[in-house]
């Protein structure tokens, strides 16, 4: 597309990028969206894919279908290798792409804080492929536990550790606990379910740090009722694939460690490093313009709008990205037309987390409630936020079925999974055997 109109390139098809592009519909601009996947992912429900509660395609929606009929938009599946801001162009796997305005909406990825050993052995859960890998690994370890040669080996396979007590960690721990309580006893009758242990490790003194004290305490109580062992004020020192060691010396033997302890922004190569602040996020002004440039913007998880009110930036949640995307569309159009731009102000609609069947916590301003009503509120909000009527219907049917049957229908090992560290060990073993054969 070469219309001669101002060209706005959006890197990332997440909540912010999608909302921005929608708001530019029928405007006198050329819009290009770039993403390495051809679908939008509803990340808040990734943990349900990982624990067999939902099919992967029920939380994904084709980006092309979202923008069907939007004539001023072009979408390309590609990875951005580098941005050259001095020349207003991107180097991608499909060639060079120029822009008049660049919007970075690349989101975030798991932050292992430079601990390579943990990164090789723990399981992240920030994308659909990662969630499917985790689902396969959990089921593979349950199958392996049935034929474990020793009690110690069996214990390693049946211990599940979640690191990070934010919403993702709490919801994942609750989902695995529900899996243990309602499903595993039927799927694996020869397995002693009491040997399945779930641990949740959080570095701060409480779970769900940004939420109210009432929600923090209630979520911990809900998890403990489900049999989850919680370690607060505990930090992971190392994990070698079998043994997890905490900073205070405590250890847990486990083959499955799920990492949700932190995220960092996905910043494009080629940008001035001085633009990046803590958490690998791009420092932006009140209009989401990256400080170092006049025509480069960032929204969502990758943007850090620092102020006295938000010294650490805004939280990495979907409503922030959506609201920033909406306002940025107006601001870019105003800038093109020489009109004044508006400053971003986040409207916090509240926070919530589910902790298993009939258990959830909700904070809406000064209103805090927990239990069954909170659980139905959580389900309604997530259903309404999903993209596409089909996805809403499929997820709703899955949830209704699971509620009445106490079952989860997608316990499938579609592709057996090996962690990076295990692949390295197998390669080393293979090379070692080749060397020995050569010597003999």
CA distance 122 to 283: 30
CA distance 241 to 430: 19
Q: The dihedral of CA 132, 135, 139, 140: what is its sign?
A: positive
CA distance 133 to 291: 38
CB of 128 closer than 8 Å to CB of 114: no
Residue-wise burial string across 236-253, b where 16 or more C-beta atoms lie within 10 A, e elsewhere: beebebeebeeeeeeebb
Show the CA angle centred on residue 267, arms to residues 263 and 273, nearest 5°.
110
Catalytic residue among 171, 202, 217, 434: 171
Residue-wise burial string across 53-87, b where 16 or more C-beta atoms lie within 10 A, e elsewhere: bbbbebbbbbbeebbeebebbbbbbbebeebebee
Nearby residues of 360 by Cβ (< 8 Å), 6 or more positions away: 352, 353, 354, 370, 371, 374, 375, 377, 378
Nearby residues of 255 by Cβ (< 8 Å), 6 or more positions away: 141, 156, 157, 159, 241, 242
For this structure, is 206 an active site residue? Answer: no
CA distance 15 to 407: 31
Residue-wise burial string across 181-195, b where 16 or more C-beta atoms lie within 10 A, e elsewhere: bbbbeeeeeebeeee
Residue of 176, 209, 183, 168 whose CA lies nearest to 46: 168
Catalytic residues: 171
């Amino acid at each position: 597309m070469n219309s001669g109109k101002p060209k706005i390139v959006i890197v990332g098809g997440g909540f912010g990028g999608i909302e921005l592009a929608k708001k530019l519909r029928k405007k006198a601009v050329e819009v290009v969206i770039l993403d390495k996947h051809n679908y939008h992912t509803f990340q808040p429900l990734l943990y349900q894919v990982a624990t067999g509660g939902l099919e992967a395609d029920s939380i994904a929606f084709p980006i092309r279908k979202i923008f069907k009929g939007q004539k001023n938009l072009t979408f390309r599946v590609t990875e951005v290798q580098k941005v050259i801001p001095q020349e207003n162009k991107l180097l991608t796997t499909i060639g060079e792409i120029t822009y008049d305005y660049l919007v970075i909406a690349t989101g975030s990825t798991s932050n292992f804080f430079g601990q390579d050993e943990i990164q090789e052995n723990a399981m992240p859960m920030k994308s659909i492929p990662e969630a499917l890998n985790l689902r396969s690994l959990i089921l593979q370890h349950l199958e392996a536990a049935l034929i474990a040669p020793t009690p110690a080996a069996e214990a390693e396979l049946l211990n599940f550790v979640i690191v990070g007590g934010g919403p993702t960690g709490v919801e994942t721990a609750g989902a695995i606990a529900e899996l243990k309580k309602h499903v595993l006893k039927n799927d694996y009758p020869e397995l002693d379910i009491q040997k399945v242990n779930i641990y949740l490790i959080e570095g701060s003194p409480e779970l769900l740090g940004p939420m109210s004290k009432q929600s923090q305490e209630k979520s911990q109580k809900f998890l403990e009722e489900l049999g989850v062992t919680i370690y607060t004020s505990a930090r992971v020192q190392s994990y070698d694939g079998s043994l997890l060691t905490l900073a205070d010396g405590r250890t847990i033997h486990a083959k499955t460690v799920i990492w949700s302890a932190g995220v960092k922004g996905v910043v494009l190569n080629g940008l001035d490093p001085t633009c990046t602040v803590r958490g690998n996020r791009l420092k932006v002004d009140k209009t989401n313009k990256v400080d170092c440039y006049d025509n480069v913007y960032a929204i969502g998880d990758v943007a850090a709008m620092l102020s006295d009110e938000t010294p650490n930036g805004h939280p990495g949640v979907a409503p922030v990205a959506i609201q920033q995307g909406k306002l940025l569309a107006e601001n870019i159009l105003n800038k093109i037309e020489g009109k004044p731009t508006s400053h971003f102000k986040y409207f916090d609609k509240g926070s919530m987390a589910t902790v298993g069947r009939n258990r959830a916590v909700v904070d809406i301003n000064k209103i805090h409630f927990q239990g069954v009503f909170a659980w139905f509120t959580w389900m309604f909000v997530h259903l309404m936020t999903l993209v596409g009527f089909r996805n809403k219907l499929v997820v709703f049917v899955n949830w209704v079925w699971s509620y009445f049957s106490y079952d989860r229908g997608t316990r499938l090992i579609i592709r057996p999974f090996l962690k990076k560290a295990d692949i390295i060990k197998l390669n080393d073993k293979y090379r070692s055997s080749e060397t020995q054969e050569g010597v003999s």
